[in-house]
Amino acid sequence: MVHRRAVITGTVLGGALSALAAPGAVEAAGGQADCRNSDRLIEEVARAVQAVRDQLAREQSFWELEAVRQQTRTFLRANGKFPDFLEVGSDVWQRVYDWHVRFQQPLSLGRTPDGRYTILLLATTLVMRPDMDPGFIGLPYDNR
């Protein structure tokens, strides 16, 4: 009995490799040119597979939060707790917002008394500072 996965995988891989081959290239080319052609095609397939692998790894690494996590880790080591607030630029704030949407995490949006937008990330409230550089990440602080 042939498994459905084997049929689909074989068909997809065969179709992808046949799409890369130029029509009539095997018949028209000599032995040496054919070898160089196949080496080039193999390298292209290897690069495409590596690009897909890199994209999948990036999807699971939470790269959007890395800069914010570095600041909160430093504060956590120094004070034994997560900071209450962290001021960030607009790009950082929007990356955190997009992370919540992409991974379907609950959003807790708000505004400070002076009108700045906030978003809750774990136990830290990120305060958007549109007047700063878009990639700005300030020093974390407590509500004291």
| Structure-token match 């990639």, residue found | 135
Q: Is the pLDDT of residue 29 over 50?
A: no
Please list the residues that pair with 87 across neighbouring strands: 127
Distance of CA 17 to the CA centre of its chain: 28
Q: Is the pLDDT of residue 61 over 50?
A: yes
User: What local confidence, expressed as pLDDT, does residue 26 receive?
Assistant: 47
Distance between CA atoms of residues 118 and 88, nearest Å: 10
Distance between CA atoms of residues 58 and 22, nearest Å: 33
Q: What is the pLDDT of residues 67-95, one digit of tens each?
A: 899 999 999 999 999 999 999 999 999 99
Q: Is the pLDDT of residue 13 over 50?
A: yes
The burial of 41, by beta-carbon neighbours within 10 Å (0-12 exposed, 13-18 middle, 19 or more buried), is given as: middle
The full length of the chain comes to 144
Q: What is the pLDDT of residues 30-57, one digit of tens each?
A: 566 677 888 889 999 999 999 998 888 7
User: What local confidence, expressed as pLDDT, does residue 65 receive?
Assistant: 85
The answer to whether 17 and 45 are in contact (CB under 8 A) is yes
pLDDT, mean of residues 85-109: 93
Every domain of the chain and the residues it spans: 4-60, 63-128
Please list the residues that pair with 85 across neighbouring strands: 125, 141
